[in-house]
Structure formats: structure tokens, C-alpha cells
Amino acid sequence: MIQFDQVEKKYPDGTQAVQQLDLIIKKGEFFVLIGPSGCGKTTTLKMINRLIPISDGTLRIDGKKISEFDIHELRWNIGYVLQQIALFPHMTIAENIAVVPEMRKWNRSKISRRVDELLEMVGLDPSVYRNRKPSELSGGQQQRIGVIRALAADPEVILMDEPFSALDPISREKLQDDLLELQRKIQKTIVFVTHDMKEAIKLGDRLCVMKDGKVVQIGTPEEIIEHPANDFVKSFIGSHDRIEGRKVKEVAVQFPIGLKEGRTISAGAPISEALQLLAETDVLIIEENGQLIGSVTRETIIQFLAGEVRA
Ligand code: ADP
């Protein structure tokens, strides 16, 4: 668990980047910091691994103040992925992935197994990619290496600062899908910075919307879309008006095989009603004129909304 208590950051030139920040990021959670440029997202992220020192307040990881950690231990235990692909150009892919395990003095065979395991995890054949140089990979593949490099020594926490924003839209969507898939397997605490609401809604278990160095709203994607705290959040997500009046039928997916019973909802019901019911049940069966025409889950709605909000 990562806990910010009244954390402040004032840069030496007097810029107050973050103010009175209170945040609890739960273990295993995919937590997204979102907001316009300059609102303090990167500063917040970098305070976690002490790349930026805090000016006031306390920041704890699993109950221990970050100032009390040995700096190397702290950095090694926190994976970090940046927007700019920061692979070492003269080293092979395997050597790039092995940087932190090497520093931790893992033995050769353990490192080698780990490298292969990670490459396979993101669908890159080790026999093909191990010995390549970063320049021999596409931008999307390089960024995939950036992600697994951050996972190499099995850290509990991974910080990601706009990791996909330099990629073309197709690679970006693919990497988002891969990351979700990966997170289902590894269940790490991920703190992810983006200014793209669509990305935030797609990836986050919870989002923290920031403005001018302060938290404006924290909640699940549904909570934020359904109940934006103020006009700033409303305009930032830009989607609220669009769910209004939309019907469950528009988000219907195929009837799941084997599903025999469950709560039903009428095809003409508003999406917001389905969202409320889905707080209590995993799937709703859509009924139209006495026939069961499909089903809807929380994921279906989130995907629909992610496709609707402006990029
Ligand atoms: P974001 O990641 O949301 O774009 P940042 O955390 O990078 O925002 O920046 C927050 C504020 O702090 C901005 O006003 C930015 O100009 C300022 N800032 C960032 N880094 C520094 C620095 N090293 N010195 C002074 N001001 C900075």
C-alpha cells in the first residue's frame, strides 16, 4: 500500500507542484493519475521512488516512510517505465532486461530463465529477440521491453509515466491490452500517469483526477463517469452527456455460453441503470419482448465508454 499524507511539493524556484495530497493506493491496484499537463501527475509519481524529494507531509509504502528505505532497495523494489524508450542502445534485449537482476546479483541461470519467461509473457520469442539490439525492434516492441524490464526483479510496485503516449494508436491499443492481460496474471500495484481519459478508463481500477496540484476526484471509472465531482471533471471526461439516453441494447454482447440464470434487464433500460445493478452482480441478461438477446458486464460498459470519450 502506498499512502500519501498531506504531501506537498514546492520546487526550488517556488513552483507549488503538489498540494495537500492525501492518497491511498491499495496493494495490487491499477491506479491512474490523470489530468491536464502541468497538474502534478509526474511529480506525484516520482515522489514515490524518491526521484523527486517531497517538501512536506509523509509518504509511506507498506507503512514505512519512504525516507527510511535504503535508496537502492527502494528503487530496485519499484519498477519504472517512461514515455521515452530508455533502453540501452549498445546492449542486447536480454542484457537490457537483466539490468536490475544483475545489480541484485542474481545468478546467471536465474537471470537467463527470467529473461525468457518475461519475453514469452509479452509474446516475443526469446530465441528471436534475446540477442537483438533495441534498434532492431519496432517502437511498440521496444516499449514492451521497457515494461518487462521494469518487472524483471519482480517488484511489488510499478510506476508508469505515459508509457504508451509516443506510440501510434494501433500499437498503443495493443500494449494497453497486453498490460491489462499481464496485470491479471501478476497483480502488482501499478501507478500509471496519463492525460488520456480513454486510456485511464480502459486501464484503471481507480482514477485520481488532478488539477493545479490538487486531487479533484478519486473513484472507479464508473463512479467518475456517472458522478463527476464538478464541471472540470465533467468537461475533462467529456462523455457524461453521451451515456445519458443511451440504452443497454447498445452495449449488448453475445449471450455467454453456459449462462442459465442471472438478473435480467430490459433492452431499453438506460446504461446507467445497468451500471448500478452491476455493482451487485457480475453479469446482466438483456431481455427484449420476452426473449433473451444478450448480456452485459461492467467490462462491456467500460469498453463502450472508453470508445466514446474523447482521446
Ligand atoms: P504533469 O505531469 O501533470 O504534466 P508535473 O508534475 O510535471 O505535471 O509538473 C507540475 C508543475 O510543476 C508544473 O507547473 C511544472 O511546470 C512544475 N515543475 C515540474 N518540474 C519542475 C522543476 N524541476 N522545477 C520547477 N517546476 C517544475
Cα–ligand 1 centroid distance for 190 (angstroms)? 21
Q: From the CA of 129, how far away is ligand 1's center (Å)?
A: 37
Going by DSSP bridges, is the β-strand pair 2-10/56-61 parallel, antiparallel, or unpaired?
antiparallel
9 to 3, 22, 47, 292: CA distances (angstroms): 15, 13, 9, 55
Entry pTM? 0.82
Ligand 1 atom with the smallest distance to the CA of 193 is 2
Go through 11-41 and write b for each residue having 16 or more CB atoms within 10 A of its CB, e for each that does not: eeeeeebbbebebebeeebbbbbbbeeebbb
**Residue of 243, 259, 224, 205 whose CA lies nearest to 30:** 205
Residue nearest to atom 12 of ligand 1 (CA): 17
17 lines ligand 1 (CB under 6 A): yes
Query: CATH 3.90.1280.20 in the chain, residues?
Result: 241-308
What are the tens digits of pLDDT across the range 116-161?
999 998 889 999 999 999 999 988 899 889 989 988 988 999 999 9
DSSP 289: T
What's the pLDDT score for residue 240?
47
Q: Tell me if 172 CB under 6 Å of ligand 1.
A: no
Closest CA to ligand 1's atom 15: 38
At residue 239, the pLDDT reads: 52
Ligand 1 mean position, distance from CA 237 (Å): 22
**pLDDT for 100-116, tens place per residue?**
899 889 999 999 999 99
In the chain, what percentage of residues exceed pLDDT 70? 93
Ligand 1 atom index nearest CA of 18: 10
| Any atom of ligand 1 within 6 Å of the Cβ of 155 | no
Supply the CATH classification number for the domain 241-308. Answer: 3.90.1280.20
Residue 290's pLDDT is what?
Answer: 84
Which residue's CA lies nearest to atom 21 of ligand 1?
Answer: 11
In angstroms, the CA 202 to CA 293 distance is 26
Residue with CA at minimum distance from ligand 1 atom 10: 40
Whether pLDDT at 85 is above 70:
no
Question: What separation in angstroms does the CA of 67 have from each of 26, 47, 48, 121?
Answer: 20, 11, 10, 34
- Give the atom of ligand 1 at the shortest distance from the alpha carbon of 13: 25
Integer Cα distance of 214 and 232 in angstroms: 13
Dihedral sign computed on CA atoms, order 104, 155, 177, 293 = positive
For ligand 1, atom 18, name the residue with the nearest CA: 17
* Nearest protein Cα to ligand 1, atom 11: 17
- In the chain, CATH 3.40.50.300 covers 2-239
* pLDDT tens for each residue of 223-254: 888 888 998 888 887 654 556 678 888 877 77
* Å from CA of 2 to ligand 1 middle: 21
pLDDT per residue over 197-219, tens digit each?
888 988 999 999 999 999 999 99
Q: Is the CB of 295 under 6 A from ligand 1?
A: no
Q: What CATH topology corresponds to 2-239?
A: Rossmann fold (3.40.50)
Secondary structure of 1-59 in HEC code, one letter for each residue: CEEEEEEEEECCCCCEEEEEEEEEECCCCEEEEECCCCCCHHHHHHHHCCCCCCCEEEE
Q: Is residue 13 in contact with ligand 1, taking CB distance under 6 Å?
A: yes
Q: Looking at the CA of residue 44, tell me the nearest atom of ligand 1.
A: 6
Which are the contacts of 260, defined by CB distance < 8 A and separation ≥ 6? none
